[in-house]
Amino acid sequence: ENLQKKTSATLSTKSYDTFISPNILNLSSFAKLMKKLQEIHPETSRDKIVDALLEVRKNNSGILCGLSIRAIVESASKIL
């Protein structure tokens, strides 16, 4: 029997911690987003990229589910 453990991620930003449920954004998607955004914006810090992703989520009724990675990258790039 192969049971999948549920995990969660806490993203640490400048002055606060933000909890992102795995149902909102799974870790492999987050890694893809971070990698892509760091490639596009190499001069931008990880914290600023996370802030931009949180802003995209906020602008999308508090969720990223349903948005393609491409759409999230485009939205975050506009913020950055």
Question: Hunting for tokens 């190499």 — which residue is that?
Answer: 42
Measure Cα distances from 41 to 7, 20, 59, 72 in Å.
28, 23, 21, 14
| More confident position, 61 or 20 | 61
Average pLDDT of the residues of the chain: 76
Q: Is residue 52 scored above 90 in pLDDT?
A: yes
Identify the pLDDT of residue 23.
Answer: 52
In the chain, % of residues over pLDDT 70 = 66
pLDDT in tens, 2-38: 444 444 444 444 434 445 555 555 568 888 889 899 9
Mean pLDDT to the nearest integer, 46-59: 93
